[in-house]
Amino acid sequence: MKLPVSTEWLLHCAASLAQLEAGATASAAQLAQYFDLPAAYLAKQLQALVKAGVLAATTGPRGGFRLARPASEITLLQIVEAVDGAASPYECREIRQQGRGALPAEECQNPCILAAKMAEAHEAWRNSLATTSLSEIIAALPPSAPSRTRLRLTGTP
């Protein structure tokens, strides 16, 4: 069970975009320089957040990415699931219905208990991530952080 490395990238990128002024944008190249990441691959992953409706992209000069919604309405879960997919890491293939020990269909009306427990754990994970929004992340940073981020990311204080 491993999240893509780009998960960390996008979490930090989203947190950085949340520190810009409303409406301001940062290009993929700027974000890549800011964190020293491969620009092309980062751009590809940012598309996932656009498709998920977390970010909005504008093309052309002065274009780039910005938050599609207020930072308080973007949770860590939405970012993580945008890049990695919302599927549960445990996929029940109903092996209890296969092989010599196959259970009759009548006993399989209820979902497999093991699958249910795994789904329960996944839900606990999701709930934990859903309780934190980007605005809370920003609030935990030093007060000087947003200004510094704007300067070093876009060059406009």
Partner DNA sequence: GGTCCGATACTCGGATATCAGGTGTCCGAGTAGGGGCGG
Partner DNA sequence: CCGCCCCTACTCGGACACCTGATATCCGAGTATCGGACC
Binding site for a second copy (CB under 8 A): 1-3, 5, 7-9, 11-12, 15-16, 33-37, 76, 84-85, 87, 89-93, 95-96, 98-101, 107, 113-115, 117-118, 120-122, 124-125, 127-129, 132, 137, 140-142, 148-149, 152-153
Does position 157 interact with DNA (CB under 7 A)? The reply is no
Does position 38 interact with DNA (CB under 7 A)? The reply is yes
Angstrom distances, CA of residue 35 to CA of 9, 64, 106, 153: 8, 16, 55, 10
Residue 24 interacts, among DNA, a second copy, none and using kind-specific CB cut-offs from 5 to 8 Å, with none
Residue 60 interacts, among DNA, a second copy, none and using kind-specific CB cut-offs from 5 to 8 Å, with DNA
Residue in the block written with tokens 């605005």: 135
**Diameter of the chain by CA atoms?**
69
Q: Which of 23, 60, 99, 104 binds DNA (CB under 7 A)?
A: 60
Dihedral angle over CA of 128, 130, 132, 133, nearest 10: 170
**Could you say which residues in the range 74-93 bind DNA, by CB under 7 A?**
84
Cβ of 125: how many Cβ atoms within 10 Å? 14
Residue 72 interacts, among DNA, a second copy, none and using kind-specific CB cut-offs from 5 to 8 Å, with none
d(CA 122, CA 129): 11
d(CA 49, CA 57): 10
Residue in the block written with tokens 């940062």: 26
Q: How far is the CB of 47 from a second copy (least distance, A)?
A: 19
d(CA 17, CA 20): 5
Residue 104 interacts, among DNA, a second copy, none and using kind-specific CB cut-offs from 5 to 8 Å, with none
Binding interface with DNA (CB under 7 A): 2, 4-6, 27-30, 38, 40-41, 43-44, 46-47, 50, 57-65, 84
